[in-house]
Amino acid sequence: MLRKVISPRKKLNDGAAAEQLAERYLVEQGYQCIARNFHSRVGEVDLIMRHGNTIVFVEVRYRANTSRGTASESVTKHKYLRCLKTAEYWLTKNNLQNSQYQIDVIAIDGQLSVDNLHWLQAVQI
């Protein structure tokens, strides 16, 4: 069986496009973007948004096709815990450890469009 090889550059471009789509969608829902692609030694968070008094850490997942599962299925417990630790680090670093916060997942399957976007709020795995 032949498998189509996708270049790392294409994956990176698709991932960045998915993050931009997710950010635009959240801004349209009344969210304010605080940071993008925050990295720490324990992990990375794609988007950090504010909605009212809540800081929302957003993991964006994109799958061009679902032959290996859906975008939302690709969020493992390990990935969730890394995102959680990164969120807690960011809150501490910014002296906001007493703030309300949550972790959301934006999963996009297929074509990069709002029609294929699934927003999972306050995820706990």
Nearest 5°: phi and psi at 114? -60, -30
**50 part of a folded domain:** yes
Domain hosting 79: range is 8-120
Q: What is the pLDDT of residue 14?
A: 82
User: What whole-number distance in Å separates Cα of residue 45 and Cα of residue 60?
Assistant: 9
**61 part of a folded domain:** yes
Tens-binned pLDDT, residue by residue, of the chain (125 aa) = 444 434 444 555 888 999 999 999 999 999 999 999 999 999 999 999 999 999 999 999 999 998 889 999 999 999 999 999 999 999 999 999 999 999 999 999 999 999 999 999 999 98
Token code pair at residue 18:
């998915």
State how many domains the chain has.
Answer: 1
**125 part of a folded domain:** no
**Neighbouring residues of 42: CB distance < 8 A, sequence distance ≥ 6:** 82, 85, 86, 89
**88 part of a folded domain:** yes
Q: What is the pLDDT of residue 125?
A: 84
CATH code of the domain in which 14 resides: 3.40.1350.10
**1 part of a folded domain:** no
Distances (CA, A) of 104 to 10, 27, 41, 47, 124: 25, 14, 21, 10, 9
Measured over the CA atoms of residue 4, residue 108, residue 31 and residue 38, the dihedral's sign is negative
Q: Using an 8 Å Cβ cutoff, are 104 and 120 in contact?
A: yes
Q: What is the pLDDT of residue 66?
A: 86
Classify the phi-psi angles of 69: left when phi > 0, otherwise alpha if psi is within -120 to 50, otherwise beta: left
**46 part of a folded domain:** yes
Token code pair at residue 12:
């990176």
